[in-house]
Structure 1
């Protein structure tokens, strides 16, 4: 493993990932570091977590990052021009800064930087442009306004038939996001500032599954058809629905971010890469109201499959997932297939499930070649849940979906195979270390467990580990596998006290 790695770089910011042996999101020991330019120390500090994010850099300059772990040199790219949003009328006292921000975005040249000033600025949706750096520095905040009157909407498809508005895997009209980027190749969104979606203001959280005024709820940051995007440093919070949603964005990198939503906020997933290839997620911290990372690939519907595209080659490294429904979730919208995903050197803390795979009859598609390597889970009731009977959608409880009688196999039959758990430690397991429920006509295959260790919560009480009909409660089980094959074992180590009977 490379000990020091430059993960993101703009003309004003950089993210360096520290990966000494044994490191997760948090480092095994503090690491001292300095950043210098022309022999003069620019910044210095001590890192306790994996991602070191620095800003206020100068374009076109050489920098040296030296640390207890070694040295790393890099050069910031040039900047075609710095635009200050204040010069276009942004004002902390304004009720809506959307028009001022639109003027500032329009004035920023390709290869240039738009800087948001310090202070809290209320705004409606802002539409970004390709090739610019959107810099939200420390002390700056963009906050979605509470009143959605006149809020722009994204159509389900544009004039060329491409999907633009998307909701839970299907083309649908959606409200635009506070930051929206369509066809924004090479965009960089960076800085230590805050992007607040405004979900805790207005009525967004009171209609999680409805359509109002002809549209679905917005994300906080939505990107579509935008390759080579970098997002780094920012805190994104209070999302009206999914927080950060890249759709058809290849070669995406997100690093050193904080994604935060109240734990009771509805459907506020943290980051949902959908139909994206070659994705890197590094040094992220999640605490959300739904799944932390939820990987998607579109949802098949009768007569509607042209919107499906795969998510492939995704790396999640040195991230911390806290309190979400699932830490890393694949599906349930996965009809375009999700393959070649590696989750490594991560920590999961009090999420309902660790790695969660969910699908159902009618989806089709494949989830395959998934690896969980060097992961520590604390108080996760079910570390690995694989469920091919997930009862989502209005017909999710229908007999044809939930019957355990084998159904005919066709292109609507989902496949789950080749999932590896390596060097995983889970403490405080309540329900089952591994809970798998495959389809009788398409069993879950190729599940391997290598050096998997777990301890049970002595105070655990029975509960259902999988969201499907007819599933019996579990309590301190090691492996439950129905219509699934598992190779390997789980080593159970001592709990701190004698367990109460389940």
Structure 2
């Protein structure tokens, strides 16, 4: 048993079980001898309504753990500041008043109710507690939202507040927004509801109208961020977006968007360092988790990779991809561990989206997946260095050609990857497609103790989004322009045709 996070009013724990997302058997949870939860099913779980500065002993039947909650300076209820909680009146001024009055170490409490909000800005050193039944509803009129400028000032006074898809750009502030904050927490069993289905956010979604769409939660250049327990749903774009942040913890969240809603990713760590994602359930309209580091212009300016990212004990369901890298990845992505996760019904499991033009300021490398279960994932593994979506440059011959071009500052680098102890059932398209560039091959792919079984009742489909593509059904592993392939105890049950197909591969070891 491990304590992942503790506040004055909450705590998150990891059982340490080796299973993916769900515990092997349900267990009861006691605090100081009192039963507080029956038949807990998850490897990672959180408890709320704890008392500040109090010692507890956690008992799950199999193990015990002593811990102490943090102290609390003030406890402020937004209702005392005039919040109506009726879903009609704008309660943002009341929330802002409570936050302004909160001293460092304070908790701002939101009881059950529907709170209509225009964006609320957090500040350092406070905890926002959304109790069960509390629902924050985003205002549906975009003209009521403040705009975060992409660029303000010049020289040493130049600042970046807004962003959109890897660039410094004007965007609307989000329902909950934090800029340059330290040691902040959003906790509880309440919901942040972007209310996007009741608005026009998805109409002409590729066109900027006043500013680009807000997220559900947006953190810009913050450090010491904890988001624990809450649900974030129906957001105008991404659910949770940490941007140039450090030391971020995202635990036991529920992130949901309608599958047909565009660019509604779950979690997008963007140019961040030390991000821990655990016990999160994601079902969205785009990628479940998309790790990013900006387009080339942003990468050249800030030279900030996204690094030290862990994703453990998560459930990823509806989504274009489970854990995705890019497509805005020019700053590099380094040192990523994905462990004990369950993927169910995503179009792809692991996926890299990049192409010529993303550049070589940084590389994507040092990625490990282990102890993973993928059920009914169309294509479990994809590395695509010919990704054609986004702006029109993705459809040019420069991007799609498999002729060897000169290596220059626009050539992306894709490095080293390991996939171990994985079970993939219900594969439809193919087990994996790894498309490197002839001038810059993928450096190394290792699969160890990985099995694939197939869904025979599906239709042929494309492994990924690229020009000059062909549909596949029940295919094996395809490697194109890869320096080194290592396969150990990789098994196929029901693949059509060759299990391993290589083109332009330096070396293949299979045992």
Could you say which TM-score interval applies, normalised by the shorter chain? over 0.9
Counterpart-to-counterpart distance in 2, 1:158 and 1:33: 50
Q: 2: distance between equivalents of 1:46 and 1:226?
A: 36
Which residue number in structure 2 is paired with residue 434 of structure 1? 432
Alpha-carbon contact 1:300-1:308 (below 8 Å) kept: no
The structural deviation recorded for 1:438 is 0.8
Match of 1:316 among 311, 317, 320: 311
Shift of 1:308: 4.4
* Matched residue, 1:493: 493
Alpha-carbon deviation of 1:161? 2.0
Measure the CA separation in 1 of the matches of 2:220 and 2:103. Answer: 21
| Residues 1:113 and 2:107 aligned together | yes
Kindly indicate whether the alpha-carbon contact (under 8 Å) linking 1:35 and 1:44 is maintained by their aligned counterparts in 2.
Answer: no
Specify which of 227, 237, 242 is matched with residue 241 of structure 1: 237
**Distance of 1:173 and 1:46 partners within structure 2:** 47
Q: Indicate if the aligned counterparts of 2:276 and 2:309 stay in contact, CA closer than 8 A.
A: yes
- Of the three residues 263, 268, 289, the one matched with 2:264 is 268
Distance 1:44 1:321 in 2: 24
> Is the contact between residue 163 and residue 307 of structure 1 (CA under 8 Å) also seen in structure 2?
no
TM-score by length of 1: 0.94
Counterpart-to-counterpart distance in 1, 2:146 and 2:50? 35
Match of 2:503 in 1: none
The structure 2 residue matched to 1:51, chosen from 19, 39, 44, is: 44
Report the 3-state secondary structure (helix = DSSP H, G, I; strand = E; otherwise coil) of the residue aligned with 2:98: helix
Q: Helix, strand or coil for the counterpart of 1:486? A: strand
Q: Report what 1:70 is aligned to.
A: 63
Match of 1:448 in 2: 446
Partner of 2:408: 410
Equivalent position SS for 1:162? coil
Matched residue SS, 1:109: coil
Number of residue pairs the alignment of both structures matches: 487
Q: Is the 8 Å Cα contact of residues 23 and 43 (structure 2) preserved in structure 1?
A: yes
Are 2:84 and 1:85 equivalent residues in the alignment?
A: no
In the TM superposition, what are the counterparts of 1:196-211 in structure 2 within 5 Å? 196-211=193-208
Q: Say if 2:17 and 2:43, in contact at 8 Å, map to a contact too.
A: no
Aligned twin of 1:183: 180
- Which of the numbers 17, 27, 32 marks the counterpart of 1:31? 27
What is the CA distance between 1:304 and its match in structure 2?
7.4
Counterpart Cα distance in 2 of 1:449 and 1:210? 41
- Is 1:294 the counterpart of 2:290? The answer is yes
Within a 5 Å distance, the mapping from 1:462-501 to structure 2 comes to 462-484=460-482, 485-488=484-487, 490-493=490-493
The alpha carbon displacement at 1:43 in A equals 1.9
Are 1:260 and 1:288, in contact at CA under 8 Å, matched by a contact in 2? yes
Question: What SS is found at the alignment partner of 1:408?
Answer: coil
CA distance in 2, matches of 1:412, 1:247: 24
The answer to whether 1:353 aligns with 2:348 is yes
Does 2:323 align with 1:328? yes
State the alpha-carbon separation in 2 of the partners of residues 408 and 492 from structure 1.
Answer: 37
Q: Distance in 2 between matches of 1:366 and 1:221?
A: 28
Counterpart contact for 1:299–1:308, Cα < 8 Å: no
Kept in 2: contact 1:300–1:335 (CA 8 A): yes
Inter-CA distance 435–34: structure 2 relative to 1 (3 Å threshold): same
Contact 2:29 2:35 in 1 (8 A): no
In 2, the alpha carbon distance for the partners of 1:186 and 1:374 equals 32
Instruction: For residues 358-404 of structure 1, give each alpha carbon's deviation from its aligned partner in whole angstroms, at most 9, with x where no partner exists.
Output: 10101023110100100000000100000000013221101112111
Matched, 1:228 2:221: no
Distance of 1:15 and 1:143 partners within structure 2: 26
Deviation at 1:417, TM superposition (A): 1.4
2:499 corresponds in structure 1 to none
Give the deviation of 1:42 after TM superposition.
6.5
Indicate the residue corresponding to 1:500 in structure 2.
none
Distance in 1 of aligned mates of 2:207 and 2:303: 23
For 1:299 and 1:360, locate their aligned partners in 2 and report how far apart those are by CA, in whole Å.
Answer: 11
Task: Evaluate the alpha carbon distance shift between residue 354 and residue 295 of structure 1 in structure 2; reply closer, same or farther with a 3 A threshold.
Answer: same
SS in 1 for 2:116: strand
- Aligned to 1:69, the other structure's residue is in SS state coil
- Which residue of 133, 136, 159 maps to 1:162? 159
Cα-to-partner distance string for 1:460-499 (whole Å, 9 max, x where unaligned): 322111211012211111111111242105301369xxxx
Supply the distance in 2 between the matched residues of 1:307 and 1:240 (Cα, whole angstroms): 27
Query: How far apart are residue 134 of structure 1 and its match?
Result: 0.6
Counterpart secondary structure, 1:204: coil
Verify the 8 A CA contact 1:208 1:241 in the aligned structure 2: no
**2:102 aligned with 1:104, yes or no?**
no
Question: CA separation of 1:296/1:142 partners in 2, compared to 1, >3 Å: closer, same or farther?
Answer: same
Give the Cα–Cα distance (whole angstroms) in 2 for the partners of residues 16 and 318 of structure 1. Answer: 12
The change in CA–CA distance for 1:389 and 1:204 in structure 2 (over 3 A counts) is same
**Aligned equivalents of 2:43, 2:78: Cα separation in 1:** 32
Moved more, 146-155 or 189-198: 146-155
Q: CA deviation at 1:46?
A: 2.1
- Any stretches of 5+ residues in structure 1 without a counterpart? 496-502
Cα distance, 1:130 vs. partner?
0.7
